[in-house]
Amino acid sequence: MVRPFRHPRIRTCTVHIYNNYFDGNAKYGVGVTMGASAFVENNYFRSTASMKPMLSSGQGTDALGEGTLSGEAGGMIKSFGNIYDCSASNLKLLTQNNSSADQIDCYEASSRDEEVPESYKTAVGDTAYNNFDTAEDMYEYTVDTAERAKEKVERYAGRVDQGDIRYEFDDATQDANYDAIPELRNILNNYSKTLTLVKVGDLPVGGGSSGEGGSGGALAMAVADEVWMLENSIYSILSPEGFASILWKDSKRAEEAAGVMKLTSKDLKELGIIEKIIPEPSHLTVYNLKEVVRKIECSIDDFLDHYEKMDVETLKNHRYERFRNM
């Protein structure tokens, strides 16, 4: 279930997004920038407010509004089988059926196997959809209907018995809101945690970034004996836009912030934050992914050969010294 935060915002990559429940959708559901291609399939979008289920930077609905996605070049989305649970007047979605080819939020396919014509390209960046989902080497998967996906998310998502915190969102007011909710913030700030320790354990642990490793996930990956990065990935606790907004109150200085943050694989290897850089093609797609996977598999074999020879105390001391030397 996706409320107003942690939405898929995709730069450069090829991504398949299916069987999610986007509940609320205050800003947008799925966003693509910088030439990304996304296949958005059988998802359930719900809102009582203005709904923007899919956006491409600098065109379509994003260009008509405040440009809430980003100031970067756009990407392409293929949409199929999604449900938009909102009033017709609240649905903000431009497709090839109601807009020009370079001003669409997504291409609405009539079948799962339909290919997006090359004539549909981004308004900024002139990028076409790469049709990865209809390629011969597309992975096999089973997809539920959007309605069934919603049912499963509502039944199974979250902690056992819905966790310790109970809070009912008021859809009539919160669907349009993406600011912090004072009442909910107060509940979270006053929550007494029962989880006091996360133990890595006595086994070798590796972490890695294969795109954008950020926020709490970046911190989680750091709790390892070694951290690796794909050559063209980034790794930080904050996005350049967030860094620029906090430090300079100006998200448009994101490019400058990226240089200051030292978040590339080369920078972080030189700083001793990561141990290994995995070479990759300049544009990683499903077509050349196997090549990179083979390199990772070989690196994992070498990693295990090295660390499994260590006794528990040696392993713990190595892990301790790794953090002390940063």
Q: How many CB atoms lie within 10 A of CB 254?
A: 20
Whether 148 and 245 share a structural domain: no
* 278 inside domain: yes
Helix (H, G, I), strand (E, B) or coil at 294: helix
* 103 inside domain: yes
* Backbone phi and psi for residue 321, each to the nearest 5 degrees, phi listed first: -65, -30
- Phi/psi region, residue 161 (left: phi>0; alpha: psi -120 to 50; beta: rest), is left
Residue 231 has pLDDT above 60, yes or no: yes
Letter string b/e over residues 293-305, b meaning 16 or more CB atoms within 10 A of that residue's CB: eeebeebeeebee
Maximum distance among all alpha carbons in the chain?
A: 65
* 62 inside domain: yes
Each residue's pLDDT tens digit, 31-80: 999 999 999 999 999 999 999 999 999 999 999 876 567 888 999 999 99
Structure tokens at 284: 């990683």
Whether 147 and 39 share a structural domain: yes
Each residue's pLDDT tens digit, 254-301: 889 988 999 899 999 999 999 999 998 877 777 888 888 999 999 999
- Which domain covers residue 43, as residue numbers? 9-153
- Name beta bridge partners: 10: 32
pLDDT band for position 213 (cuts 50, 70, 90): low
Whether 247 and 138 share a structural domain: no
* 108 inside domain: yes
The helix (run of H) or strand (run of E) holding residue 170 is none
Residue 5 has pLDDT above 60, yes or no: no
Better-scored residue on pLDDT, 214 or 28: 28
Residue 230 has pLDDT above 60, yes or no: yes
What's the confidence (pLDDT) of residue 194? 57
For the chain, the domain total comes to 2
Confidence (pTM): 0.63
Helix (H, G, I), strand (E, B) or coil at 92: coil
The dihedral through the CA atoms of 235, 238, 241, 246 has a sign that is: negative
